[in-house]
């Protein structure tokens, strides 16, 4: 399936935003708002200006990437098509399917990139070289 996934299968998802004068809250529940069961959560922060992160793909892992604070761009690539998505609201997340290359860039000062992953860490699931990714896709 991952070899057939395209950037058009990756969607921006709305997460419920509950507004209150004391501050807002957003809820994300497995298999309801998140289209998979979350097995791992991590976040990127203190990223120096001009740096980019990710630059890899996964064979099986799915991710929901959220700008918990600040903003950044995610460029997704299926080997034929590329699409860039700007994330800047904590109640939207980009659902990235398996077999999609991703590169995260243009981090604003103080941004936090929150990642919900469908699998626990497994180095063998990573495609870190773009040529290996293209070979995987073919």
Instruction: Note the pLDDT tens digit of each residue in 104-128.
Output: 999 999 999 999 999 999 999 999 9
CA distances from 85 to 22, 29, 33, 102, 106 (A): 30, 23, 19, 11, 11
What is the reported pTM?
0.93
Q: What is the mean pLDDT of residues 21-46?
A: 94
Ordered domains of the chain (ranges, CATH): 7-137 (2.60.120.10)
Residues 40-53 pLDDT 10s: 999 999 998 788 88
Q: Which residues are catalytic?
A: 56
Residues 119 and 87 sit within 8 Å (Cβ to Cβ): no
How many CB atoms within 10 Å of residue 18?
10
């Amino acid at each position: 399936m991952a070899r057939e996934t395209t950037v058009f299968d990756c969607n921006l998802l709305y997460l419920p935003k509950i507004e209150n004068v004391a501050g807002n809250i957003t809820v994300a529940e497995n298999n309801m708002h998140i289209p998979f069961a979350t097995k791992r959560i991590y976040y990127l922060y203190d990223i120096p200006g001009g740096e980019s992160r990710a630059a890899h793909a996964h064979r099986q892992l799915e991710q929901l990437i959220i700008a918990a604070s600040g903003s950044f761009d995610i460029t997704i690539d299926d080997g034929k098509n590329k699409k860039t998505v700007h994330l800047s609201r904590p109640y939207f997340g980009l659902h990235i399917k398996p077999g999609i290359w991703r590169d995260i860039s243009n981090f604003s000062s103080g941004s936090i990139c929150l990642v919900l992953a469908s699998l626990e860490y497994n180095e063998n699931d990573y495609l870190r070289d773009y040529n290996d990714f293209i070979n995987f896709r073919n």
